[in-house]
Amino acid sequence: MAKMLIGSRIRERREAAGLRQSEVARRAGISASYLNLIEHNRRGIAGKVLLNIASVLDFEVSSLGDAAADELLRNLKIAAAGADPAVETERTEELIGRFPGWAGLIAGLGEKVRHLEHSVSALSDRLAHDPLLAESLHAMLSSVTAIHATSGILAQSEKMEQLQQRRFQNNIHQESARLSDLSRQLVGYFDRLSADQGKLSTPMDEVDAVLTAAGFYFPELERGDEAAVTRQMAAFDAAISNPARLILIAVLEQAAADIAALPLAEFVDAARVDGDSTAALAARFNCLQPTIYRRLAFLPPDTGLPGFGLIACDATGAVLLRKPLPGFTLPRYGAGCGLWPLYQAMSQPHVPMVALLQTTEARMFRAEAIASYLDPAAARTQPVLRSVMLFRSAAGGAASPGLQPVEVGPSCRICPRQACPARREPSIMADA
């Protein structure tokens, strides 16, 4: 939790209670000027003073958490990492408290810069390694070489047999026709590249954006007829690249199959009873646990069940599907935290792994993961392994009796746990 931002929240509660600063300060045993500094996020607050103020204003200290502000704080720290050392990172929380609009703008710009850097890198890679481009340029140079050498011969040879002369003229004609074709191909190539300018991010990024905009809920699929996937694609109304469209269709087809196996009303009723035991739900509906995971993650928002996040990856760690939750960041690029059960599940396929995860903001999440072979019958010859992790908030610990919390992070690069045994690269976060 961002400690200094608590000041803004205290001020909100004091004003809502209709109390003056001096009155609250007196009853909490501090000076009015000190409370003023706290409320303007210029002084941190914890311990007895916080408890006293909470008592005066009649609220639970734990209710002061604000996932959005914590997310903003994390994003600002990422934006500041690697920037000019003159950036006053120690006053980031004060910035959020006093100028939330500016703070949001800076964090947004930082995210945009990271996205553009990713796009530039993807474009450079494409230009450097695109086989069509490399082949076309090689063919163009070969044609130019043939034309240059042959025209040089024609221009410089005073005596040449007529037959030979005609052959060379014909060769030049052939090569110029080839050059014309190649030019057209390249113009088409660059036209397509230009049309794709807005989609230079990966197809997975595009899929991510569509699913996020839809709130990870697919109402058309719940109607359950054969054209549901087509209707849901149309309902998204998103201009996406063909590769992204194919990935999205695969996600929807999987979701449609899950919905067919687990009808909404019946499943929600069962999940209200057995929501924390996906094994019980799987047994009840006679399906595999990953089906339960996906169904829980892609339910309508008004079921009364807690919100579930989900991440799926293959054996390389490449993310196949991601649904983050407030307070549980999933990396957009690269792998997540090596301590997540998502990865550990791959050491024992088909065995569910459950863990209580404590994030760097001290939030608790119950996570369970299971890895399974895409085609169990071909597991020996073609062992294609996929792992999927379901997670939900475990504030209060009711959902995780007996589990010891594991300290995890979002991904090494933006994780402040410097001494983590699973660290694979240094963090850009300056402080813990």
Partner 1 sequence: MGKHVLLIEDEPNIIEAITFILRQDGWRVSTHSNGKTAIEAVTKSLPDLVILDVMLPGRSGFDILQDLRSRQIWQNLPVLMLTARGQARDRDAATAFGASRYMTKPFSNSEMLATVRELVV
Among 16, 120, 127, 141, binds partner 1 (CB under 8 A): 141
Q: How far is the CB of 191 from partner 1 (least distance, A)?
A: 24
Q: Are 208 and 332 in contact (CB under 8 A)?
A: yes
Q: Which residue do the tokens 């996570």 mark?
A: 367
Cβ proximity to partner 1: between 22 and 157 the closer is: 157
Cβ proximity to partner 1: between 153 and 379 the closer is: 153
Q: Kindly indicate which of the ranges 48-56, 150-158, 367-375, 424-432 contains the residues binding partner 1, using the contact rule CB under 8 A.
A: 150-158
Q: Which residue do the tokens 């169904």 mark?
A: 295
Which 157-196 positions form the footprint of partner 1 (CB under 8 A)?
Answer: 157, 164, 167-168, 171, 174-175
Which of 3, 412, 285 has the alpha carbon at shortest distance from 296? 285
Q: How far is the CB of 181 from partner 1 (least distance, A)?
A: 15
Q: How far is the CB of 150 from partner 1 (least distance, A)?
A: 5
Among 137, 273, 362, 378, binds partner 1 (CB under 8 A): 137
Give bridge partners of residue 387 from the DSSP assignment: 313, 371
The three-class DSSP label of residue 51 is helix
Determine, following the binding rule CB under 8 A, whether residue 150 of this chain makes contact with partner 1.
Answer: yes
Longest dimension (CA), the chain: 112
Cβ proximity to partner 1: between 153 and 428 the closer is: 153
Measured between alpha carbons, how far is 75 from 4 in angstroms, rounded to an integer? 16
188's torsion region: left (phi>0), alpha (psi -120 to 50) or beta?
alpha
Determine, following the binding rule CB under 8 A, whether residue 127 of this chain makes contact with partner 1.
Answer: no
Measured between alpha carbons, how far is 432 from 423 in angstroms, rounded to an integer? 14
Q: How far is the CB of 144 from partner 1 (least distance, A)?
A: 5
Using alpha carbons, list the distances in angstroms from residue 313 to 36, 147, 330, 335. Answer: 49, 52, 12, 9
Determine, following the binding rule CB under 8 A, whether residue 234 of this chain makes contact with partner 1.
Answer: no
Q: Are 11 and 39 in contact (CB under 8 A)?
A: yes
Cβ proximity to partner 1: between 141 and 213 the closer is: 141
Measured between alpha carbons, how far is 180 from 18 in angstroms, rounded to an integer? 79
Q: How far is the CB of 123 from partner 1 (least distance, A)?
A: 19
Residue 1, classified by CB atoms within 10 Å of its CB into exposed (0-12), middle (13-18) or buried (19+), is middle
Which 356-415 positions form the footprint of partner 1 (CB under 8 A)?
Answer: none
Among 20, 112, 126, 148, binds partner 1 (CB under 8 A): 148
Cβ proximity to partner 1: between 150 and 289 the closer is: 150
Cβ proximity to partner 1: between 164 and 212 the closer is: 164
Cβ proximity to partner 1: between 140 and 430 the closer is: 140
Give bridge partners of residue 391 from the DSSP assignment: 309, 367
Give bridge partners of residue 367 from the DSSP assignment: 355, 391
Where along the sequence are the contacts to partner 1 (CB under 8 A)?
A: 137-138, 141-142, 144-146, 148-150, 152-153, 156-157, 164, 167-168, 171, 174-175
